[in-house]
Chain A
Amino acid sequence: VSGGTEVTEPLDTTTLSTQPELPRLPSLTFGGWLRWAWRQLTSMRTALVLLFLLALAAVPGSVFPQRATSTADVTAYLAEHRGIGPLLDRIGMFDVFGSAWFAAIYILLFVSLTGCVVPRSLQHARVLRSRPPAAPRNLDRLPEHRAYVSSAPPPVLLDAAASALRRRRWRVDVSAADGTLSAEKGYLRETGNLLFHLALIVLLAGIAVGALFGTHGTVIVVEGGAFANTVQRYDSYGGGRLAGTDSLPPFSFTLDSFAATYQRGGPQDSAPRSFTARLTVRDEPSAPPHPVTVQVNDPLVVDGTKAFLIGHGYAPHVTVRDGQGRVVLSSAVPFLPRDSKFLSQGVVKVPDARPTQLGFRALFLPTARMDPVLGGQSTFPAADNPELLLTLFTGDLGLDDGTPQSVYLLDSSRMSQVSDQVMRPGDTWTLPGGLGSITFDGVRQFATFSIAHDPGQVPALTAALAALAGLMLSLFVRRRRIWVRAAGEAGGRTLVAVGGLARAEAGGLTAEVDDLLERLRAVAPASDEESA
């Protein structure tokens, strides 16, 4: 327990509470109850409990799959745990960071914090304008204390002490009548402490602005393909509630080429080494096009909106002719990569084919090898020896009833499997029964871009930097006080006493007191060797 000195004003500057520690009996009025509740909420102990609760509440978010990051994992978890799954879902375990109870904890914490910091800021503002506290009666009871006898008169000594301390940027108050001097330094500790906590509030505001006004989405663009920044063009879009969907910056780009290189041979065989997307960008429809290279960690930036390269894959280009010889499909179809060697899965749907709709379940193997047990495998992620494995279905694709379907899944419930085929680039497969033909023209790559705009980012970053600065001030600056008393004695001599007080965590006060004494002795030497 600290304290126990004569100094009545506490120097406990780490405490973030203006509240007294002693419990007070609440009065019975409603206002009294409110005041009592407020005092409880803004007490340090409550803040402590809330901090701990917040830490505890975040843990399930790392244990259970979260909807915000991967809906598929949540669905898989629910399918696997039919008993406990729905219960967990009901209490928000799959959306921890958006759940009411998580929000309740951090909102309470920030209310508690605000209730603490605001009065304390006012108090600190008063302290900053006031004088250092008067000297305690017995300086020799302070942790740091020195004394000696000088022949110089008290005013000279006090002046010398004042100028020495002021030069070291202490706040000094000389009381000539008492023959004492009070000095204090390290106000930045509390300033930093308050800055840190206020900055946290701004940080939370920045996060809120980002969540409400920010936009983010992903889009897959095949080599040669184009993208224009409108909501309709995104493959998935998530925007804040207050974000205007029609006011996205009107930039557009084409993906001229995408290149991926991989480690060949050695222990890290197949590990990716570089991804490079070359774009031609127009900042707005009327602007001139200009080339931009986008890499991982190096996004495209247009007017505060950024496009990040977050994924890639293969898009085999196929041309389908139906039974009547018409070209009913000719495009590059993006496939989903399934493993690190880029064995990729995809579906080719041909709803316009006649006499019957056609569907192909397909595997793309960039470097194909037939395994007698596992079937078609890929042994390297680059397209060294590409093969396309197709399984043909005929019947009703189920696209006409308006139910949205995944482009990567084939609903074969109203279709029948007909035949399968292995194809290389340039091959044409004449489908059985006069259904038409499919040509594997070649393979292109696609790049996945995440496009995001977060107007809260700059405030959040500024606040975070301010918080860090405040934190360092509050932990590293030492608040300390020095008092000097110069008392005239018989024979024209002066007894000089110096005392220093600092928080337990603060070091270096000894050296500062010693330094002050040295300077005093330089101006007013000790009268003889018998120092007190």
Chain B
Amino acid sequence: VNQQSWAQLSNGFVYGAMTALALAMFAYAAELAFGTRSRVGRTVAAQQPGRAQVLVGGGSTDNAGSAGSAGTTDPDDPADIPPTVTFPEASPERQRRADQYGGIGLSLTVAATGLLLLGIVCRGFAAGRAPWGNMYEFSCASAFVVLSVFLVVAWRRPALRYLGLFVVVPALLTLGLAVAVLYVPAGPLVPALRSYWLVIHVAAAIVSGAVFTVGGVVTVLYLVQDHWERRGAVNALSRRLPPSEQLDQSAYRLFAFVFPLWTFAIMAGAIWAENAWGKYWSWDPKETWALVTWLVFACYLHARATAGWKGRRAAYIALAGLSCFVFNYFGVNIWFSGLHSYGGLPHS
């Protein structure tokens, strides 16, 4: 098989993944439209409120999501007795269909993730190198990691399966942008990018970007859910989402996981820069915005530990950090020229 065929195969897989994602998007939307609460939602709801009440005093809510630990607790413990949960009436038929659609959406997401992985691997064979050397490849890899992070989250915390729609849409947009605007034919890299640091530095950046994105989605849902909880509003989505406190926790865990990784990505970039140009920091626009992103997320972590800044305010800071990251990826590559002119896009 020659390079050309690998590249074509890769494109085929990416298009396949996009098709599966588009279908998954409709399935998730249908799940939200049908019924009131799927089986997963009911199970989680039955586990949560009792624990959530006990934990208000500064404890931990994270046990609620992991079904494993809940099973091992003392059955006589008052905290584990499911309190009375009232469900809005829903016909079993609609309920069954909603569950079905949710399952289809998840299966399609798994399929799309697998296809995307195949597409990325084929692209690597086509180019004969690590497949993240330009913006097209970077975008495909980011979409893959976003979907993978979501699948891991949905597996560890079934209640967060409702993120599906909100994760699939940005992933699909990223892929669409990649295919329509950012596409460049597969090929080897310019000498400046040929370094094992590319693999390390860019892989860390891709994973960071994906986790930032998922964290951002959870943060937005937290803000929405918190808004509804304050107003006592109940609707199709608010019933399905986990309580705001738990969304906040999940977002924090994602950001706390990714912050050291992002730190590492910046450090690896600095080491590579030193190795290639003799200066580990040149205030190139990409570097500057990476630092800005880092500083804003440092703000976020500090805000969570400062009275009066927890909750919504911290969430806004996190979203500002995510915006900086997204701008660094798209904006800096398109509008600023610098040492990171790897996008393969003409500069204006």
Contact = CB atoms under 8 A, between A and B. Distances in A.
A476 B292 CA distance: 23
B5 interface: no
A45 B303 CA distance: 8
A404 to B, nearest CB: 26
A62 B289 contact: yes
Nearest to A54: B295
Choose among B60, B69, B284, B285 the residue with the greatest number of A CB atoms under 10 Å from its CB: B60
A47 B302 contact: yes
Interface in A140-173: 141-144, 146
B60 A55 contact: no
Contact of A308 (B58, B195, B257, B278): B278
B277 interface: yes
Interface stretch (B87-95, B143-151, B183-191, B236-244): B183-191
A253 to B, nearest CB: 16
Contact of B194 (A44, A296, A461, A467): A296
Contacts of A523: none
Nearest to B191: A296
Given A55-B296, A308-B278, A14 B304 contact: yes
Contacts of B252: 505
Interface string B307-329: 10110000000000000100000
Interface SS of chain B: helix
A1 B309 CA distance: 10
A499 B159 CA distance: 28
Nearest to A306: B278
A511 B260 contact: no
A88 interface: no
Interface stretch (B35-43, B73-81, B168-176, B225-233): B73-81
A306 B273 CA distance: 13
Interface residues of B, number: 72
Nearest to B185: A267
Contacts of A507: 60, 62-63, 66
A230 interface: no
A514 B72 contact: yes
A130 interface: no
B267 interface: yes
B282 interface: yes
Interface string A448-464: 00111010010011001
B54 interface: yes
B33 interface: no
B326 to A, nearest CB: 15
A81 to B, nearest CB: 17
Contacts of A295: 191
Contacts of A146: 74, 77
Interface string B42-63: 0000000000001111111111
Interface of A: 1-5, 12, 14-16, 21, 44-45, 47-48, 51-52, 54-55, 58-59, 61-63, 66, 68-69, 96-97, 141-144, 146, 207, 216, 263, 266-268, 271-275, 295-297, 299, 306, 308, 310, 450-452, 454, 457, 460-461, 464-465, 467-468, 471-472, 475-476, 501-507, 509-511, 514, 531
Interface of B: 54-63, 66, 69, 72-74, 76-77, 184-185, 187-188, 190-192, 194-195, 197, 249, 252-253, 256-257, 259-260, 263-264, 267, 270-272, 274-285, 288-289, 291-292, 295-296, 298-299, 301-307, 309-310, 324, 332, 336
22 contacts: A1-B310, A5-B57, A45-B306, A48-B302, A51-B298, A51-B302, A55-B296, A55-B324, A66-B283, A96-B283, A216-B279, A266-B187, A267-B187, A273-B191, A306-B278, A454-B280, A467-B263, A468-B260, A505-B249, A505-B253, A511-B72, A531-B74
